Amino acid sequence: MAQTADVIIIGGGVHGASLAFHLAQRGVNPLVLEKKFVAAGATGRSSGLVRMHYDLRLESELVWQSFQYFRNWDEMVGGDCGFVRTGFIRLVGPEYEEALRANVQMQQEIGIPTLLVTPDDIKRLAPYMTTDDFTVAAYEPESGYADPPSTAMSLMTAAREMGARLKTGVQVVDVMTSEDGSKVIGVRAADGTEYHAPAVVNVAGPWADVVAQMVGLDLSITTWGHDVMFIRRPKSVGPTHPTVIDDINEMYFRPEQGGLTLVGLESDNPLGEDPDNDTDHAHPGYVERAVDHICRRIPVMEEGSLHSEHMGYDGLSEDQRAILGPAGPEGFWLDCGHSGTGFKIGPAVGLCMAEWMVDGAPQTVDIRPFSFSRFAEGKLLRGEHPYADIWR
């Protein structure tokens, strides 16, 4: 006998868990189907930055709403998301400094605690950093990072306590539609089991294009691979340091517990690879490149040592922004294409998607510009004061 639900969510990462949580809060009965385990995909390999600096106002609005969750997690969700406040610094090259000033002003208008700082200010915050290649930076004193698997698991646990259901080890192989193909009626798993619901949400991360093709949609997204290394930082750096996105050196880095520093690069990221590839190891040559990049900003890191390295995949859309909302047959929804920056907006996107699905329109943040139709309409999302594409 087929199992039934109000909504079927394909994917058990942070976005699937957040949507299940917010739907359950509204009395909806969601069923999450995950082919492995919670946070097994993009979420489990996310670097977990929680920062609010974007060049697109909508994204800054989303992460500002999400930040209320991260800093009040126990009260708003329960459990632990592992949020650690480190402060966040955004560095850009001279050609983007005016854009940075404008974006900081935009974020301040939203209410985000952010300010412009000088190289001397950065030296006081982090005396081991080189500061001779920029004249102004953005600083968010309240930002930091969180633990993505803990975030997803606590959202899922809270959702289940409110009536949501989770089935792991279930791979969806077909999205079933009515005889005329006009509306979805459920999904079929690899073992032949059918799950029926009038709404199906594609939250499948780097596998989202495969799921979309089950209803005849071509999302035109590709996979984006990201390598990460953890280094044991020298004691001279101190017990912690700010979280940093350094566009000048095409990287980001943040502290990790145990005296480690996580380093990710924003250049030469592989596109189009199979997301089922082994992710336990970084691509050949990555560690050497990452060491070179981090030592440009923190020369004393030469005294550190490699702890570990791995990689992960996410879905990359044409404009490197999320794809959200209804598309294709009636009842089919998209929450995918997050392009490597989806973790920090997860709580707010789940809220806004639930508002859209249950109340008829998103209220907290109007996420309708993220609709799939924007690509056909030529309405790609770009900030008013844009930087270069994140992943190059």
DSSP single-letter state for residue 140:
E
User: Helices in the chain by DSSP H: which ranges?
Assistant: 14-25, 57-71, 73-76, 97-110, 119-125, 148-161, 208-213, 286-297, 346-354, 373-376
Closest by CA to 58, choosing from 26, 96, 106, 92, is 106
pLDDT of residue 391: 56
Q: Which residue reads 């969806």 in tokens?
A: 172
CA 361 to CA 368: how far, in whole Å? Answer: 8
Q: Which three-class secondary structure state does DSSP give residue 222? A: strand
Please write the tens of the pLDDT for every residue from 350-389. Answer: 999 999 999 999 999 999 999 999 999 999 999 999 998 7
H/E element holding 336? Answer: strand 332-336
Q: Which residue reads 């900003």 in tokens?
A: 297
Four-residue CA torsion sign, 63, 81, 322, 365: negative
DSSP single-letter state for residue 283:
P
Name 199's Cβ contacts closer than 8 Å, sequence gap at least 6. Answer: 6, 7, 8, 184, 331, 332, 333, 357
Percent of the chain past pLDDT 70, that is, above it, reads 99
Instruction: List Cα–Cα distances, 227 to 109, 205, 312, in angstroms.
Output: 35, 17, 7
Residue 392 — very low, low, confident or very high, per pLDDT cuts 50/70/90?
very low
CA 348 to CA 9: how far, in whole Å? Answer: 17
pLDDT (average), residues 8-33 = 98
Terminal CA-CA length for the chain: 48
Q: Which of the two residues, 57 and 389, has the higher pLDDT score? A: 57
Q: Which residues pair with 338 in a beta bridge?
A: 316
Are 314 and 339 in contact by the 8 Å Cβ rule? The answer is yes
Are 140 and 254 in contact by the 8 Å Cβ rule? The answer is no
Q: Mutual orientation of helices 346-354 and 14-25 as an angle, nearest 10°?
A: 40
pLDDT of residue 245: 97
Please write the tens of the pLDDT for every residue from 119-178. Answer: 999 999 999 999 999 999 999 999 999 999 999 999 999 999 999 999 999 999 999 999
pLDDT of residue 389: 72
Residue burial 39-55, b: 16+ Cβ < 10 Å; e: rest: bbbbbbbbbbbbbbbbb
Give me the numbers of helices (H) and strands (E) for the chain, helices first please: 10, 21
* Cβ burial, residue 288 (10 Å; 0-12/13-18/19+): exposed
Residue 248 — very low, low, confident or very high, per pLDDT cuts 50/70/90?
very high
* Domains contained in the chain, CATH given: 3-45+149-221+319-376 (3.50.50.60), 84-142+223-313 (3.30.9.10)
